[in-house]
Amino acid sequence: MELVLQIIIGIGLAATCGFRVFVPLLVMSIAGLSGYLQLGTGFEWIASYPALIVFGIATLIEIAAYFFPYVDNVLNAVSIPAAIIAGVIVTASVITDINPILQWSLAIIAGGGAATATSLISNGTHLASTAVSGGAANPAVSTVESAAAVVTAILSIVVPVLAFVLLILLIVIAFRTLRRMKRKKRAPFAP
């Protein structure tokens, strides 16, 4: 049961990487330093004061940069591979006492997949916001995403099952919304 819980925590943190790359790492650093989160062998550095400072600064810069229209779209393009890598790392770091082959396989498939899914949702949201509002609504979208990233990262550690369920719901809602938008776009205009 402990392994399942670790995987759920890892997936929740990885999914959060898709919205903001450094937020889950900052939350993990704080949780690790406080003794609330156990990190796997080789990942103890995440719970160090130098890492906390670096993740804190990187988080502030990342969140602030998303408030500038069009800069956020550039960041989204760059953030996809960064989110995937971060998702793999955060997932691998919380899965402990397991064969390394299985640990990294789970991290790549589950963590990388979760980060990819939420990163694509984030990118789609920003692109739609830019197309509809000319970028004027992007700061509001960024505010919601940043807040969701912080809340989801904390919930992933404190109440991982709830965070996992919420992330699944978010992904389902996002894909249904995108599917409806595509259908509306394909439908001919009535005279």
pLDDT tens-digit profile of 159-176?
A: 888 888 887 887 788 778
**Does residue 13 form part of some domain?**
yes
- Establish if 135 belongs to a structural domain: yes
Which residue matches tokens 């404190």? 158
Residue 29 has which token pair?
Answer: 């650093």
- Do the domain assignments include residue 131? yes
Q: Is the pLDDT of residue 8 over 70?
A: yes
For residue 191, tell me if it sits in a domain.
no
Question: Distance of CA 181 to CAs 115, 127, 178, 185, Å?
Answer: 23, 13, 5, 6
Provide the domain limits for residue 89. Answer: 2-186
Look at the alpha carbons of 23, 27, 33, 39 in this order and tell me if their dihedral is positive or negative. negative
Helices (H), 34-70: 49-65
Residue 123 within any structural domain of the chain? yes
Tell me the pTM: 0.85
Total number of domains in the chain: 1
| 59 belongs to a structural domain | yes
Domain presence at residue 95: yes
Q: What is the pLDDT of residues 44-54, one digit of tens each?
A: 999 999 999 99
In a domain? residue 147: yes
